[in-house]
Chains A and B, each alone.
Chain A
Amino acid sequence: MEILIEGVTALVAEPGRIAMMLIGAVLMYLGIKKQYEPTLLVPMGLGTILVNIPGSGVLMTGGEPGPFQILFDAGIETELFPLLLFIGIGAMIDFGPLLTNPFLLLFGAAAQFGIFFVIIVASLLGFDINDAASAGIIAAADGPTSIFVANSLGSKYMGAIMVAAYSYMALVPIIQPAAVKAVTTKKERRIRMNYNPRAVSKTAKILFPVIICVIAGLIAPDSLPLVGFLMFGNLLRECGVLDNLSMSAQNELVNLISILLGLCVSVKMEYHDFLQVDTLIIMALGLLGFVMDSVGGVLFAKLLNLFRKEKINPMIGAAGISAFPMSSRVIQKLATEEDPQNFILMQAAGANVAGQIASVVAGGLVLGLLL
C-alpha cells in the first residue's frame, strides 16, 4: 500500500507524465477505434503509458537498461528495424503499373517537394539543420525512412517525428483531398486519362530492382541501405522461386518488426523529451510537409500539361507520395466524386509506387548531403 501511495504521489508530482499517458491513450484510441495505422499506434500508445510510469522498469531495471531500452538500442540505434521493415514493404510492391508507364516515375520525384520545403521553413524557424532535415523527412510519408534518417542525423525529436510520420500517413484521406482541391479546379479534376496496359516481362520485373540498386548506389550511396533492403524484398517477390520467403517477409516479418518498432520507439516518448513547444512545431511542420508534397506533385503535373497535347489529370501528381496504396485510392475517390466514370486508379498507383522509390532516394540524398 505504501509503495502504491509513493507511486501515485510521484505521478501526481510530475503532471507531464499524466499528460503523456493521456497521449498514449489517444494513440491507442486512434489505432483501435479509428483504425489509423493500428499496427504501430497501438503498441506505441501502450509503450507511451509504460515509459511514463515513475521509475518504469521497461527503461531501467536495477541500474541496467530495461527491455524497451535494449530493444531501442538493438533495433533503432542500429537502424535495423526500419531496414528489416523495408524487406517486407518491398515484397508487397508490384512495380508492374510503373513499368507499364514509366513516365509516372517523375511524379514520385515531384511529390517529394514537401521534404525540402519543410527543411527551409524549419531552418527559418531556427532549428539546427539536422533537426530541420529530420522534420522535413516526415514529408517522405514513409515511416521507416523517417526513423532511419532522423536516427542517422541524431535528431532529438525522434518521438515526435515517429508519431507525426505514422499519424499523418493514416490521415492521408483527410489531408490530401483538402490540399489537392486547393490547387486544382473542378475541370482539372475531371480530366480523363487513357490507360493502355501492356504486359511486362518477368525478366524485366526481376532486373528492375537490381538495376535500381545499382543506379541509386552510384548516385546516392547513402541511400543504399534503404533502397537495397526495399529492392531485396521486391526481388523475393518477383524472382518466382522464393514465394515462401516473399510471403514471410510480407506477413510475419512486417508484423513482428511492427510490434517491436512500435514498443521500443516509445522510449522517446518520455514526458521531459516530448512535452515541449518544439515537439508541437515539429508535428505542425510534418503536416505542412504532407500538404506541400501534394501541392508540389499537382503543380508539376500542371506544368507538364502546358507542354502536352494529351492532358494529365493533375491529381496524379499528388499520388506521388509514398503512402501506398492509400494515396492512389484517395486520388481515385476524388476523381470519381467529380466524374463517376473517371478511372485513374492505375495511373495513380504507378505514381504512388514511384513515390516509394523516390522517398527512399530522398532519404539517402539528404543523408549524403548532411553526413
Chain B
Amino acid sequence: MTFNLENLEVAFQILGLGWGGIFLVMLIIYLVSLVLGRIFPPSESE
C-alpha cells in the first residue's frame, strides 16, 4: 500500500459525481412519485 495522489483525486471525483448522482436519481424519483400520486390517485375502495 503506497499513497498515490492520483487515487485520491479519483476518490474525490467519486464523491462529487457518485454522491451527487445519487441525489440526482433520488430527486428524479421523488418528482416521479409526486406525479404518480397526482395521475393515479387512489380509488375510494383503496
Contact A215 B2 (CB under 8 A): no
A362 touches B30 (CB 8 A): no
A103 and B19 in contact, given A124-B3, A208-B36, A369-B13 (Cβ under 8 angstroms): no
Q: Which of A36-44, A107-115, A167-175 contacts B (4 or more CB under 8 A)?
A: A107-115
Instruction: Please measure, in the bound complex, the distance between the C-alpha atom of A103 and the C-alpha atom of B30, giving whole angstroms.
Output: 6
Contact B42 A199 (CB under 8 A): yes
Interface string of B10-35 (1 = CB under 8 A from A): 11111101110111111111101110
The CA-CA distance from A362 to B2 in the complex, in Å, is: 26
Q: How many residues of B contact A (CB 8 A)?
A: 35
A126 and B22 in contact (CB under 8 A), knowing A199-B46, A204-B36, A215-B28?
A: no
With A123-B7, A125-B1, A203-B40 known to touch, is A208 a contact of B33 (CB < 8 Å)?
yes
Q: Chain A at the B interface: mostly helix, strand, loop or mixed?
A: helix
Kindly count the residue-residue contacts between A and B in the assembled complex, taking CB atoms under 8 Å apart: 131
B39 to chain A, nearest CB (A): 8
What 1/0 mask marks residues of chain A from 250 to 263 whose CB sits below 8 Å from any chain B CB? Answer: 00000000000000
- Which chain B residue has the least Cβ–Cβ distance from A131? B1
Check A354–B26 contact: CB distance below 8 A.
yes
Chain B interface, DSSP helix/strand/loop, else mixed: helix
Q: Known contacts A127-B1, A203-B40; decide if A120 and B12 are in contact (CB<8 Å).
A: yes
Cα A28 to Cα B30 with chains together (Å): 41
B residues within 8 A CB of A357? 26, 29
Q: Are the C-beta atoms of B14 and A133 separated by less than 8 Å?
A: yes
User: Is A102 in contact with B33, judged by CB distance below 8 angstroms?
Assistant: yes
A174 CB → nearest B CB, Å: 26
Residue of A nearest to B23 (CB): A109
Q: Which of B1, B14, B24, B34 contacts A119 (CB 8 A)?
A: B14
Q: How far is the CB of A94 from chain B (nearest CB, A)?
A: 14
A127 to B8, CA, bound (A): 10
Asked if residues A129 and B11 are in contact (CB atoms below 8 Å), the reply is yes
B26 touching A108 by the CB < 8 A rule?
Answer: yes
Q: Are B11 and A219 in contact (CB under 8 A)?
A: no
Using an 8 Å CB-CB cutoff, how does the interface string of A81-104 with B read, 1 for contact, 0 for none? 000000000000000001100110
B7 in contact with A128 (CB, 8 Å) = yes
Contact check: which of B2, B4, B15, B37 meets A120 at CB < 8 Å? Answer: B15
What are 25 pairs between A and B in contact, CB < 8 Å? A98-B33, A99-B33, A102-B30, A102-B37, A106-B23, A109-B22, A109-B23, A112-B22, A113-B19, A119-B14, A120-B8, A122-B11, A123-B7, A125-B1, A126-B4, A128-B7, A201-B40, A204-B37, A204-B40, A207-B36, A215-B25, A215-B28, A361-B25, A361-B26, A365-B18
Where the two chains meet, the residues of A that have a C-beta atom closer than 8 Å to any C-beta of B are: 98-99, 102-103, 105-106, 108-110, 112-113, 115-116, 119-120, 122-129, 132-133, 198-204, 207-208, 211-212, 215-216, 219-220, 278, 354, 357-358, 361-362, 365-366, 369-370
Given A106-B23, A201-B43, 12 more contacts at CB 8 Å?
A99-B37, A102-B29, A109-B23, A110-B23, A115-B19, A116-B18, A123-B4, A124-B3, A132-B7, A207-B36, A220-B25, A365-B22
